[in-house]
């Protein structure tokens, strides 16, 4: 009996609500659970000589199936980036964002790791990623350490989640570094990062403009997300980038090496020091960041 691929894939996803799978993972499951049907499919095709050939063919067919618009009511969603993952859910986009941003209360070991990550969990992993992959030194800015002297909401969308400094002189001879200290201030570039657990159609514009607002002072501003759901969400991010220049990083906390710089930020050649002054005078974390930048520019020593 031939496999009804569409029915099998939909049943597989519906039986595992909110769990995310790549097309290869689905193909592997079908191969393991429908051995007779899979061998019959292989025997009918001269091109399928091995089991691996068959699984690759199933993967391609599932990708084609899920890449097409599905009937209304099937409730199948996908993530963006590589590899793309698919899942079944009854939750609305708004419900998924609310769940992602809520404090973690689950102690169930069976809870999918992708839903267990919270925004605060991403910061230390992201700091290491930025150091290893982009060669920049990053630090956390905690909005709770702000003075709030401007009253409730006075600092809304003002502070980024993380800041970073890029050492443009890394690898230079000490004589060159000392020369630059006296004849140029172009030794560093400053970065700003707004971090989100999830971006989808319901919050894409809000999160992007939050990044625009709190990254206006930096040379580079980025919106970072552990998950980006939906092709139209990524298209909206590209459209907004064309207008405002904030880049996008899809950060994979489960496998950091698979993280992707989806949209490189547009560089601003000048730092907005007036905004930096406000941030530093009202937030001790940002003040410490500025101190690190100042010390580096004065001494050339790597920041700690």
pLDDT tens per residue across span 164-186: 988 877 776 676 666 666 555 56
Q: Say how far apart CA 271 and CA 163 lie, in whole Å.
A: 13
Q: Please check whether residue 184 lies inside any domain of the structure.
A: yes
Decide which of 90, 111, 143 is a domain's last residue. 90
Q: Quick one: how far is CA 11 from the chain centroid?
A: 29
Strand segments (E) across 113-250 = 136-140, 162-167, 188-199, 220-228, 247-250
Structure tokens at 193: 């990062």
Q: 123 and 83 in one domain?
A: no
Q: 74 and 160 in one domain?
A: no
Per the listing, tokens 């230079």 go with 172
Structure tokens at 40: 């019959």
Per the listing, tokens 């930048």 go with 293
Domain count for the chain: 2
Q: Please check whether residue 304 lies inside any domain of the structure.
A: no
Q: 220 and 136 in one domain?
A: yes
Per the listing, tokens 């419900």 go with 95
Domain with 85 in it: what CATH number? Answer: 1.10.10
| CB neighbour list of residue 168: distance below 8 Å, 6 or more residues apart | 186, 187, 188, 189
Q: Please check whether residue 98 lies inside any domain of the structure.
A: no
DSSP conformation letters of 108-147: -TTS-HHHH--HHHHHHHHHHHHHHHS-EEEEE--GGGB-
Of the two residues 17 and 180, the one the predictor is more confident about is 17
pLDDT band at 291 (very low <50, low <70, confident <90, very high): confident
Q: 254 and 142 in one domain?
A: yes
Nearest to 302 by CA among 205, 186, 171, 206: 171
| CB neighbour list of residue 176: distance below 8 Å, 6 or more residues apart | 169
Q: Please check whether residue 113 lies inside any domain of the structure.
A: no
| Boundaries of domain holding 74 | 5-90
Q: 139 and 284 in one domain?
A: yes
Q: 276 and 184 in one domain?
A: yes
Per residue in 60-104, pLDDT (tens digit) is: 988 888 877 655 545 788 887 777 888 888 777 777 777 776 655
Q: 20 and 147 in one domain?
A: no
Q: Please check whether residue 183 lies inside any domain of the structure.
A: yes
Q: 145 and 20 in one domain?
A: no
Q: Say how far apart CA 67 and CA 158 lie, in whole Å.
A: 39
* Residue 230 φ then ψ, to 5°: 95, 135
- Taking residue 285's Cβ as centre, other Cβ atoms within 10 Å add up to 19
Q: 291 and 147 in one domain?
A: yes
Per residue in 109-118, pLDDT (tens digit) is: 444 444 567 8
| CB neighbour list of residue 236: distance below 8 Å, 6 or more residues apart | 201, 204, 205, 208
The set of long-range contacts for 33-40, using a CB threshold of 8 Å and a minimum separation of 24, is 34/3, 34/8, 36/1, 37/1, 37/2, 37/3, 38/3, 40/1, 40/2
| CB neighbour list of residue 99: distance below 8 Å, 6 or more residues apart | 91, 115
Average pLDDT of span 6-10 = 88
Q: 9 and 132 in one domain?
A: no
Q: 150 and 46 in one domain?
A: no
Q: Please check whether residue 103 lies inside any domain of the structure.
A: no
Q: Say how far apart CA 193 and CA 69 lie, in whole Å.
A: 34
Q: Please check whether residue 106 lies inside any domain of the structure.
A: no
Q: 204 and 278 in one domain?
A: yes
- Position 107 pLDDT exceeds 50: no
Q: Please check whether residue 160 lies inside any domain of the structure.
A: yes
104 DSSP 8-state letter: P
Range with top average pLDDT, 19-23, 157-161, 193-197: 193-197
């Amino acid at each position: 009996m031939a496999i009804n691929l569409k029915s099998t894939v939909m049943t597989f996803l519906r039986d595992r609500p909110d769990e995310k799978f790549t097309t290869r993972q689905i193909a592997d499951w079908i191969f393991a659970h429908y051995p007779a049907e899979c061998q019959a499919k292989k025997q009918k095709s001269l091109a399928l000589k091995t089991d691996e050939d068959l699984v690759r063919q199933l993967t391609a067919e599932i990708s084609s199936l899920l890449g097409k618009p599905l009937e209304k009511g099937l409730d199948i969603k996908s993530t963006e980036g590589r590899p793309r993952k698919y899942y079944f859910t009854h939750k609305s986009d708004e419900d998924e964002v609310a769940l992602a941003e809520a404090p973690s209360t689950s102690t169930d070991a069976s809870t999918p790791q992708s839903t267990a990550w919270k925004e605060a969990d991403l910061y230390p992993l992201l700091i290491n990623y930025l150091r290893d992959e982009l060669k920049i030194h990053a630090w956390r800015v905690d909005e709770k350490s702000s003075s709030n002297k401007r009253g409730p909401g006075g600092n809304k969308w003002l502070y980024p989640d993380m800041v970073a400094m890029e050492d443009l002189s890394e690898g230079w001879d000490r004589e060159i570094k000392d020369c630059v200290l006296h004849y140029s201030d172009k030794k560093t570039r400053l970065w700003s990062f707004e971090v989100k657990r999830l971006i989808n159609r319901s919050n894409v514009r809000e999160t992007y403009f939050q990044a625009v607002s709190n990254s206006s002072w930096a040379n580079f501003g980025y919106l970072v997300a552990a998950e980006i759901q939906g092709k139209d969400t990524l298209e909206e991010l590209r459209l907004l980038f064309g207008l405002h220049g904030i880049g996008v990083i899809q950060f994979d906390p489960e496998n950091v090496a698979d993280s992707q710089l989806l949209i490189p930020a547009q560089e601003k050649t000048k730092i907005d020091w007036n905004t930096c002054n406000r941030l530093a005078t009202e937030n001790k974390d940002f003040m410490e960041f500025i101190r690190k930048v100042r010390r580096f520019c004065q001494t050339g020593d790597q920041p700690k």
